[in-house]
Amino acid sequence: MSVQPSTHVIDDIQEVLISKEQIEAKVAEMGGIISREYEGRDLLLVCILKGALVFMSDLMRCISIPLSIDTMAVTSYGASTVSSGVVKIIKDLDVPIEGRHVLIVEDIVDTGLTLNYLVSALKNRKPASVKICTLLDKPDRRKAPVTPDYNGFVIPDKFVVGYGLDYREKYRNLPFVGVPKDYVWNEEH
């Protein structure tokens, strides 16, 4: 059963960058690759809340091997649309990761500052490996040396919403990734 977001939410979108169908196909492809590469390993998917929640939910159902999941909440944006570069862990892992294969599941790699910090912090906990899986990558904005190990789509330097990504906690429920119209940024709207 597929529920469509209300019309006024969709009306706020200027351009659909990645369709629902493109996302579904790419997530299935990534799940297959991860299943093959982690076969026989103790895989832990770490969802970076809240943006990666939708992506990880779909991704883990496309992975055919046993796995565990956990979540972390980190921020470097606050209420802004631009990363401050100061990373704060709001919610840490619930399980130890020593000796485990950790796959960080993220919605988007932008400056890379948050993921660079996070990978370093997790490696200090002595996992067997730490890799990054992201739905979206914006390499034009990179400020830290971060390269996703598994990447869905490379996108231009545009602010995007949908499929878990938000603007002020809205638009996460869109089934596609899109660019909001200019008036969305207007405080009075």
Q: Helix axis angle, 20-37 relative to 53-61, nearest 10°?
A: 60
- Given a contact cutoff of 8 angstroms between Cβ atoms, the answer to whether 115 and 172 are in contact is no
Q: Please say if 110 is a catalytic residue.
A: yes
- Given a contact cutoff of 8 angstroms between Cβ atoms, the answer to whether 92 and 120 are in contact is no
- Which of 12, 58, 110, 137 is catalytic? The answer is 110
Pairwise CA distance, residues 71 & 118, whole Å:
13
**So which residues are the catalytic ones?**
110
